[in-house]
Structure 1
């Protein structure tokens, strides 16, 4: 389910929710998200709300939010869940410069707990590409993107690696610079003298 992307204010207060996923809000630029009167179940699934509250996003910093752990109701600000954070991300290159026709492999590592899903966005890429995924248990997910026979049509293409878990998403982008030989197609005309 995806919400209308132009939505800026959303009031979910006093709903019988016990959890809420950040993925519903990933494409929104919310100015205000009202969650007062909801008692969530304390856990990793709502850690993103706590992080937004700490950062002052969507007006959450002014709200008294609560979660339940067993029979105890605590303030969300006080929730402490071990092994539950946003993923970290790193890529092997900051920018890629290749010659047309070359092959290149770039790696992206997403680490964190819970283990994140990691992927490259390649929609619109002309070069042939393959993905190879490796998991280094317990907390690193690596994905290699290999571009084969790189096309000049991909010059200035922005490759983005995304790392996501139940807490949220991080991404890192790099620009592909494809160098190629310019071939001038010149026609000669004989001028009558």
Structure 2
């Protein structure tokens, strides 16, 4: 057909090259003598290219596909959970889906028409609107920064808001929501906190909202102990399963065992015989201070005495009284022997033994 059309429209009849067709009896038939056959390629057109429906609703999609000879029509889609009915015996063909599930959002629906000449098709994406649903919210864990992980479903994409202990959290460069993975209806991310302290401890509420509804979920976050709390109050038995605020402890990859310990790590504090009062501790500290002062005073006195003795040894060795000083060491004890010689008529000699401590 396309050769004959081209030949009739582009070439002068006087210069027309003769083409032939062979019939079933192997007889040649001039193409110029054959009429143009009544055939045509199908042309598919869907009733809409913006197919949106609210979850639980229904819709009907039409497919118009003219062609010669009349084409056969079929609907093509995969992994659809909703119930549907199709009618392809008519032109236009129809597809009806009832009680649409949110999981079918994003499914591509195609209409295909085919005849002896060829085929054509047209497609549309199904968009299902539904309210938000927080499917995952867990305790924070450290990953470069602290992360409170969450997953939210919803179409259109929900607006996310955080509350800290019931008060709206104003996001900054240090505390903000970060979406890591997102598709048509699911969004996975974190509330990211850079270097949180004890003031960031508490209850966090995630609120997700779009024009079709809202959802919220809570999680308790514990990042750091309050340095203002007394030391003995900072340790809570893991058997109690609660923290200082009454919130349950949790185990996760970023949680350190230093935040809590078992009662076996400490002595029995319920035994009154082992209890040390604050007054006893204060008296003990005072006694320790007095002991230090006494030891320092004695050491200073001994050093002063040694200096005086060295001066006497240096400048009094040949005094007018004829005194002689000797320093000997016996074993591990140093002793000083001071020899005083009385130059009287009897020539008596006096010895005085003076020990040196230290």
Tell me the TM-score normalized by structure 2: 0.32
Q: Tell me if the contact between 1:109 and 1:118 (Cα under 8 Å) persists in the aligned partners.
A: no
| Correspondence 1:1-193 to 2 at 5 A | 67-69=21-23, 71-72=27-28, 81-135=36-90, 141-184=91-134, 186-189=217-220, 192-193=244-245
Residue 74 (structure 1) shift: 5.7
Structure-2 change in CA distance of 1:155 and 1:68 (3 Å): same
Residues 92-135 of structure 1 deviation map (CA, whole Å, 9 limit, x = unaligned): 10120111111010000111110111111123222211002343
Structure-2 change in CA distance of 1:180 and 1:81 (3 Å): same
Q: Tell me if the contact between 2:77 and 2:107 (Cα under 8 Å) persists in the aligned partners.
A: no
Question: Separation in 1 of the partners of 2:68 and 2:80?
Answer: 31
Q: Tell me if the contact between 1:118 and 1:142 (Cα under 8 Å) persists in the aligned partners.
A: no
Tell me the TM-score normalized by structure 1: 0.56
Q: SS in structure 1 opposite 2:88?
A: strand
Residue 183 (structure 1) shift: 2.2
Structure-2 change in CA distance of 1:80 and 1:86 (3 Å): farther
Question: Separation in 2 of the partners of 1:187 and 1:66?
Answer: 82
Question: Separation in 1 of the partners of 2:50 and 2:21?
Answer: 43
Q: Tell me if the contact between 1:161 and 1:173 (Cα under 8 Å) persists in the aligned partners.
A: yes
Residue 160 (structure 1) shift: 0.5
Q: SS in structure 2 opposite 1:184?
A: strand
Question: Separation in 1 of the partners of 2:244 and 2:100?
Answer: 45
Structure-2 change in CA distance of 1:81 and 1:153 (3 Å): farther
- Consecutive unaligned residues of structure 2, counting only runs of 5 or more, are 7-18, 136-216, 222-242, 246-358
Q: SS in structure 1 opposite 2:65?
A: strand
Structure-2 change in CA distance of 1:79 and 1:163 (3 Å): farther
Residue 86 (structure 1) shift: 0.5
Residues 111-166 of structure 1 deviation map (CA, whole Å, 9 limit, x = unaligned): 1110111111123222211002343xxxxx22110011111211111110001111
Question: Separation in 2 of the partners of 1:171 and 1:116?
Answer: 11
Higher relative contact order (CA 8 A, sep 6+): 1
Question: Separation in 1 of the partners of 2:129 and 2:34?
Answer: 52
Larger of the two Rg values belongs to structure: 2
Q: Count residues in correspondence.
A: 127
